[in-house]
């Protein structure tokens, strides 16, 4: 797997100061994508064990509230196995920090239906993700005033509450 960039002090992709990883590879090719160079699975740099160690180190300060995973597309089958292990390591090392993930895939229609490669890997990823922003970016629905999403069709889902309740539960910003 390759990655495009790592932002060590990101305030745009989830609440608080976060460490964000932008992976390479995406089949959605959304019109108006702000990160179209990451569509290519070969774009960027190889994602190595040294990069994982640096991510874990970057997450260590107390003021870092969490980790955000973007793309490209984290849920492309080619990316899932590597990312699954990384998310599990982050959750183990920093259980108090939140993990946010941005995906063009739909939570119920693609992820929960097991349509994105190996279901066991997808399930392991979902078990680590606190908040999922799902849905393709739709340029006609773009709204710069939206918080933590690019277009109004996208949803901010509380993954753990949704899995526990076996129904869709949206993120409540008022909760901590």
The CATH number assigned to the domain holding 148 equals 3.20.20.70
Is the CB of residue 7 less than 8 Å from the CB of residue 19?
A: yes
**Can you tell me the distance from the alpha carbon of 15 to that of 25, in angstroms, rounded to the nearest whole number?**
25
Q: What is the pTM of this model?
A: 0.96
Residue 101 lies in a domain: yes
Counting the structural domains of the chain, the total is 1
Task: Note down pLDDT in tens along the chain; length 176 residues.
Answer: 999 999 999 999 999 999 999 999 999 999 988 888 999 999 999 999 999 999 999 999 999 999 999 999 999 999 999 999 999 999 999 999 999 999 999 999 999 999 999 999 999 999 999 999 999 999 999 999 999 999 999 999 999 999 999 999 999 987 75
100: closest CA among 90, 110, 92, 109? 90
Residue 175 lies in a domain: no
Q: Which of the 8 DSSP states describes residue 25?
A: -
Residue 76 has which token pair? 């492309």
Residue 96 lies in a domain: yes
Q: Which helix (H) or strand (E) holds 174?
A: none
Is the CB of residue 133 less than 8 Å from the CB of residue 118?
A: no
Residue 144 lies in a domain: yes
Residue 148 lies in a domain: yes
Range of the domain at 92: 2-165
Q: Which helix (H) or strand (E) holds 28?
A: none
């Amino acid at each position: 797997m390759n990655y495009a960039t790592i932002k060590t002090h990101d305030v745009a992709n989830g609440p608080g100061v976060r460490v964000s990883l932008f992976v390479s590879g995406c089949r959605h090719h959304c019109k108006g994508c702000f990160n179209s160079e990451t569509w290519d699975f070969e774009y960027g740099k190889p994602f190595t064990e040294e990069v994982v160690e640096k991510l874990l180190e970057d997450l260590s300060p107390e003021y870092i509230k969490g980790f955000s995973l973007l793309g490209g597309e984290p849920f492309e089958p080619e990316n899932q196995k590597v990312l699954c292990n990384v998310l599990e390591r982050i959750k183990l090392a920093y259980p108090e920090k939140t993990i946010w993930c941005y995906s063009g895939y739909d939570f119920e229609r693609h992820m929960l239906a097991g349509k994105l490669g190996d279901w066991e890997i997808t399930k392991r990823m979902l078990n680590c993700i606190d908040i999922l922003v799902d849905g393709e970016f739709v340029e006609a629905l773009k709204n710069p005033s939206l918080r933590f999403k690019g277009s109004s069709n996208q949803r901010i889902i509380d993954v753990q509450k949704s899995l526990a309740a076996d129904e869709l539960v949206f993120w409540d910003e008022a909760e901590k």
